[in-house]
Structure 1
C-alpha cells in the first residue's frame, strides 16, 4: 500500500495533478510528500511519515477524525472528498498541522492513487538517475507544446498515468478519462470497430482519429508506446482550439520512445531496485559484502562464484535495450534461484550478473555450466542471443569482484570468438592471458622489438607478406609444410620468405628467447594490421 520515493513538494504535485482532481484547502504547498497510502475507515493507521493519506469511505464532517489520525501518524497531507462546506475539515487540518487536499466527488480513488504514485516515482527516478527527460507529467506537458494539443499518457491497461496542464478546451472524453470514468461506450465501440486499438498495439505508426461531434469528441492523434514487440501503453493528443502543429506526428513518435523508457523503469518496485543496487555495488566493490549479506540474508563467509551474460548484439534503441536487459535478468533470476536459493542477480552496464553463493568447488564447473546452458537456450528461444562467461569460485562473498572480473574477461575473449556461447575462465585462460599480454605490449612502446616493427614497415611499403608468413611458421612450431598449407603457398615460397624476413629484420630464430619475444611481437603486429 505504501511507496517510499525520494519525494516531491506538494506544490509540484499540485502542478502535475491539480485540477480537475485535487485542490489545496489548508496548509503550505511547500511541504514534502514522500509517499501515498489509502486509509479505509475500518483500518488502523500506523506511522506514515511524510505520506499523503487518501481517506476513502468518509466525506465532509465524517472525515474530521481521520484528518486528525493522519496528522498523528506523521503524514504530510490528507486528501478527503468534501461535499458542501469545508470549514470543519479545514479547521481540523490547521489545528493539527497537516495539509488538506479536497477531492471532487466524481474522482475514483484508485485512479487518483495511480496518478499521484506516478508523480512520486518520477521524482524518485529523477533523483536516483540521470533521467534526462524528467517524469511522465513533464513529458506530457512537452508533447502538448510540440503538438498544440492536450496530452494524456496511459498504461497498457488504459489507466491514465499522466496528462498535460492546459487552458485549452477539453472534450468530454478527456475529462472523463482524467476523472477515472469510462468514456462513452458508443465511441469506444467505434474505436474498436475502426481497428484503432489494434493498430496502437501492433505498430509504431501514429493513428489519426476523426472527431465525432455527436459524442462531443474532438479529433485525436494517438501512438502506441512500445519496447520491441511489446505494447506498454498509449499517448493520446486531443485537438484544442488550434489545429495540430505541423510536426505533431514526429513529436509523438519521439515521445513514445521516451515514455517507453519511463514505463520500463516503473515495472519493478522501489524495493526490487534497491536490491539490484546492492548487487551492483557488491560486484563493483562499492558496497561491503557484510552490508549486502546483512540486508539480503546471506552468509558473508560463504564461497561464491559469478556468472555473467551479455547480448551478442548491442541494441541501440533504448527502450528495446532495456526490455532485453529485463528479459535476460528475469530468465537468469529464475534459473539461478532454482540452482541456489540465495542467488543474487544484478545489472552493470549492458551485462547481467548472477552471484551464486555456497557452490562447492567440485560442483562449480559441471553443475553451473548445465544451469548456464539452460539460461542461454531459454533466452535464445525468446529471440535474445547471449554469451555467458563463468569466473572462478572465491572463498568468501567479499571477493566476488575477482570472480566478476574473470567472468568479464571471459566475455571479452568470447566476443572475438562468435561461435561460442558459454565458457569458463579455465576454458579460455591462455587466450585471455595472451590478449592481456598483447595489450600490455601495445600500451608500452618501450617493450616493442624494432626488428618486428621493421618487418611490418616493409610489408606496408613493399606489399610483402613477411609478418603473416613468419607468424604462421612460428605458430606451426617450425613445421614449414604445415605453415605453408595454412597460407596456401608452396613450402619453398615460405622458406624464401623466412630467409628474406630474417635478412631484413636481423632476427635470430635459432635463439629460443628471441623466438618467443618475436612470436609475441608478431601476434601484436598482426592484430594491429587486422
Structure 2
C-alpha cells in the first residue's frame, strides 16, 4: 500500500529517500517521472528570471500529474499577488484560502467540491510562491512527491535567479556608478582646465591693461589667447588696431551699412554676437558705446572660452578707452577754461604755468584768429579742419568754440587764404570769413588781440569782396573805423567825398571810384595807373575828366587828394554803404 506524504512532511525527508520510495512503488517505470522532474528543474537554472521559472513550473504540473495549476501566486514581502495578473485585487474565496495559510501546504475546499491543493514554494528562509493545483481526484503519492520536488526545486531556482539578478543589477549599478564617476572626473578635469584657462585669460588681459600698451597691446594679447585675428573699432567703425600684423588693405566695419541697427540689437541683448565670419562684442561704458572688438573666425572654431576672452577683453578695453576719453575730456575742459581766461584777461604768471601743464608754450607771441562760416555748416567740422590745418602748419593751436565762431590761438601769423581754402574744400563752400587779430607778446595782451580780430571780422563782413580773410595789421588807417560802431559816420564820410561818383557808377555800371583809387594809389602817375587798371592811357584821362566834372573836386588839391584817397580805401573795405551785403551775425 503506497504511503502518501502530505503537508510539511516533505520537509523532514531527504529528496533522495522520497525519490527512492517513488521508484520502489511502481518499479523502474517510475524513473521516467523523476527524470522528467530533474530535466525540468535543470531548465530552471539556465539563467531565466524568477517569473519565467515560476511560469515553467506552472506549465510542468500537468506533465507530472493529472492535475493542473489553477492559480499561481507570487509572494513579495510576505504578501501574495496573482502572478498572472499582478494588478488583480485578491477578492476571491480561493485568494482568501491561500492567504490564510500562506506558510504551509494545505488542501483547499471550495463549494464546487473540486480537489485543490496549495503547494508552497519555499526555502529555509522565505516563501517565494504558491501553486494551487486542481484535479478531478486526489493525485497519487508519486504524483504528490513529484509536484513537491518540483516546488522545492522551483523555489531554489527562483531564489538563485533572484540572487543572480540582484548580482547582475548590482554589477550594472556598479558599472553605471563607475561610468558616472569617470564622467564626473572627466567633467571635473574639463572644469578645472576651463577654470585654469579663465584664470590665465584674466591674468594676461589684466596685466596687459595695467601695462599701458593701449588697444594694440590688448588686441595682441587677445590674439595670443585665441589664435584668431582681432580687430578693434571705435564707435564710428574706424579700425583702431589689428592683430596680428599686417593690417588688411580694406576693412569692412561690423554691421557695414546697417551698423546702427546691428549695434542697437546687440545693445539690447547685452551679449556677444556674430556678423558673418566675426564674433564681436560691444565696448561699452555705462550707456555709451565706445567701440567694437571682434574675433575673425571664418572656420567657426571659437569655443566658449574664446568668447569669454572676447568678453573680458571688451571689459578691459572699456576701461582703457573710458580712461583715455576721460583724460581727453578733462584736457578739453582745461583747454577751454584756459582759452576763456586768456580771452577775458588773466595774469601772465598763471597763464604760463597753466599752458605748460597742457603742453603749450605761452611765452612766445600769439595771435587770435576768428573763423566764421555760413550758419548751415557744422561747427564741429569747421573746428576740426581749422585745428588740423593749424597743427600741420606748426602753429601749435589752442582752439575754442563759440555759438557763432571758432577761435584759434596760434604761435605765429597764419596764412589766412590757405586756411580759407582748406575749410572751403572740407565744408563744400567758401561762404566764410577769417579774421586775424594783432600780435600779443604776452598772455595778458590776448584780450586786445581778440578785440582786434572781432573788429577785423566786422570790417571784412561788410567789405565789397564779402567772403574771405583779412589781417588786422593790413587794415591801415581803417583800424580807426569800425562799421559796427561808427556806421553812420562812415556813411556820411563816403557820401560826402564819393557820393556822386558812387551814384554814377551804380547808374551807368561804371568804375569811376575804382579808377580814382588806383590813380591815387599810383601817386598820380598816368602810366602806372593805366597798367594797374588794364586800360589805355587816353581812357584813364577821359575817366579822370569825368571824375572832376561829376565830383566838382580839384584832384591837385592836397586836402582833396588826401580825403579822396582815404575815402577810396574805406570804400575798398566796406563797399557802398547804401548796398546791403548780408552775412552771419557776430
Q: Does the pair score TM above 0.5?
A: no
Identify, as 1 or 2, the structure richer in helix.
Answer: 2
Larger Rg: 2
Give the TM-score of the pair, scaled to structure 2. Answer: 0.35
TM-score by length of 1: 0.38
